[in-house]
C-alpha cells in the first residue's frame, strides 16, 4: 500500500481552522502565525484542487467538501492525541516490584529480560521479609510481589501460583562435617545448626515446619535478612542452609559451597505472584507477567 499524499500537518491545521471558525484562534492553538495557517490551508486545497473554506469578514465557513473532510480531520486529531498520550505513558512507565529476599535470585533474570524489552522502563525493586512485602502491597507501595507459598492472602489481594515448584538445595561448607558425604537423609540433620531467614519470612516457617513434620530438631544458628550474608556464613562453616539453586550457582561452581543431595525426598518451594484485586494492571505490569510466563515455559 503506497504512502498517502496528504500532508497530515496541513490536515490538522485545517481541523483547528474548522473547529475555531477563524484563522486567528487556530493560529493561537497551533502556536504558529496567521499567514502560516493560511498558507497551509491553501496548500491543502491546491494539492487536491478542492475548495474547503470560504472567508467572510474574517470568519471561516466550511464548504460541503470541507465539512466532510473535517470529520476525517477530527478522527486524525483524536488519533494523534491518543498516540501522543501512549508515547508519553511509555516514556514515564514504571514498575514497583516487591520480592521476598529468598526469591531475589529467581527474579533477577526476569527483570533483566524486562529491561532489555522495555529499556525506558523505570524499575523499583524492594526485597524483604514476605510479611513486610505483602503489607507494603496492601498499602499500594508495590504493583506486584513475589512471595513463597502458601501465604494467607486477604480478600483485597489476588495470587497466581507459578505452576513449576522450585526444588531447594541443601548447602554446606566444602570443608564442613558433611562435605565428604555423597548424600544424607533428613534425620542426619538432627541437632545441626541452620542459617535461616529472619522472623516474618514465609520460607523460614516452611523450613521449620518441614523439620517438625519429620520430628527433627535443628538448631537455629542465625536469623539473617541478607542472602549474601547467609551464603558467607555457610561458606565459613557456621551452619547449613536450604536455598534456591539460582542463589548459590556461582558459589557452587567456584567450589565455595557444596550441595548435599538428600536421599529421602526433596524440599520444594511454590511461588505466588500477588497483586491488588481492584487495581487494573499497567502495561509495564502486563509485560512483566508475560516475561514471567515465558521464563516458566522455558523451564518446564
pLDDT confidence band for 46 (50 / 70 / 90): very high
Query: pTM, whole model, 2 decimals?
Result: 0.67
For domain 166-268, give its CATH number from 3.40.190.10, 3.40.50.1980, 3.30.565.10, 3.30.830.10. 3.40.190.10
Q: Residue ranges per domain, the chain?
A: 8-91, 94-164+271-299, 166-268
Write out the three cell numbers for 257.
559451597
Of the chain, the end-to-end C-alpha distance in Å amounts to: 43
pLDDT at 49: 95
Please choose, from the candidates 224, 101, 107, 209, the residue with its C-alpha nearest in 3D space to the C-alpha of residue 150: 209
Sign of the Cα torsion 227, 233, 236, 241 reads negative
Task: Report, as an integer, the average pLDDT of 188-193.
Answer: 94
Tell me if domain 8-91 and domain 166-268 are identical in fold.
no
How does DSSP classify residue 3?
P
Query: How many whole angstroms separate alpha carbon 23 and alpha carbon 286?
Result: 45
DSSP readout, 113-157? Answer: HHHHH-TTPEEEEEEE-HHHHHHHHHTTS-SEEEEESP----TTE
Distance (Å, whole) CA 119 – CA 89: 14
Mean pLDDT across the chain, nearest whole number? 89
Per-residue pLDDT tens over the stretch 97-121 = 999 988 999 999 999 998 898 888 8
Question: Which triple of cell numbers denotes residue 196?
Answer: 535461616
Query: Apex CA 204: angle with CA 202 and CA 210, to 5°?
Result: 100
CATH 1.10.10.10 fits 8-91, yes or no: yes
List 262's β-bridge partners, or say none.
184
Q: What architecture (CATH level 2) is domain 94-164+271-299?
A: 3-Layer(aba) Sandwich (3.40)
Amino acid at each position: 500500500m503506497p504512502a498517502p499524499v496528504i500532508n497530515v500537518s496541513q490536515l490538522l491545521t485545517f481541523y483547528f481552522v474548522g473547529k475555531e471558525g477563524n484563522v486567528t484562534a487556530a493560529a493561537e492553538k497551533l502556536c504558529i502565525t496567521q499567514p502560516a495557517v493560511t498558507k497551509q490551508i491553501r496548500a491543502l486545497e491546491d494539492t487536491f484542487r478542492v475548495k474547503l473554506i470560504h472567508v467572510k469578514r474574517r470568519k471561516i465557513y466550511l464548504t460541503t467538501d470541507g465539512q466532510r473532510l473535517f470529520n476525517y480531520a477530527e478522527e486524525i486529531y483524536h488519533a494523534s492525541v491518543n498516540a501522543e498520550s501512549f508515547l508519553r505513558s511509555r516514556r514515564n512507565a514504571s514498575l514497583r516490584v516487591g520480592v521476598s529476599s529468598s526469591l531475589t535470585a529467581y527474579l533477577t533474570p526476569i527483570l533483566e529480560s524486562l529491561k532489555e524489552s522495555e529499556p525506558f522502563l523505570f524499575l523499583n525493586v524492594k526485597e524483604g521479609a514476605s510479611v513486610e512485602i505483602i503489607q507494603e502491597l496492601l498499602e499500594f507501595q508495590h504493583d506486584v510481589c513475589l512471595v513463597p507459598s502458601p501465604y494467607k492472602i486477604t480478600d483485597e489481594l489476588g495470587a497466581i501460583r507459578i505452576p513449576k515448584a522450585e526444588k531447594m538445595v541443601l548447602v554446606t561448607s566444602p570443608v564442613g562435617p558433611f562435605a565428604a558425604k555423597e548424600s544424607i537423609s533428613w534425620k542426619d540433620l538432627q541437632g545441626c545448626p541452620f542459617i535461616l531467614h529472619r522472623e516474618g519470612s514465609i520460607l523460614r516457617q516452611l523450613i521449620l515446619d518441614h523439620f517438625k513434620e519429620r520430628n527433627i530438631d535443628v538448631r537455629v544458628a542465625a536469623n539473617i535478612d541478607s542472602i549474601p550474608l547467609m551464603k558467607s556464613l555457610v561458606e565459613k562453616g557456621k551452619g547449613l542452609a536450604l536455598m534456591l539453586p539460582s542463589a548459590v550457582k556461582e558459589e557452587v561452581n567456584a567450589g565455595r559451597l557444596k550441595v548435599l543431595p538428600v536421599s529421602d525426598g526433596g524440599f520444594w518451594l511454590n511461588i505466588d505472584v500477588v497483586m491488588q484485586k481492584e487495581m487494573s494492571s499497567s502495561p509495564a505490569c502486563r509485560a512483566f507477567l508475560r516475561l514471567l510466563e515465558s521464563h516458566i515455559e522455558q523451564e518446564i
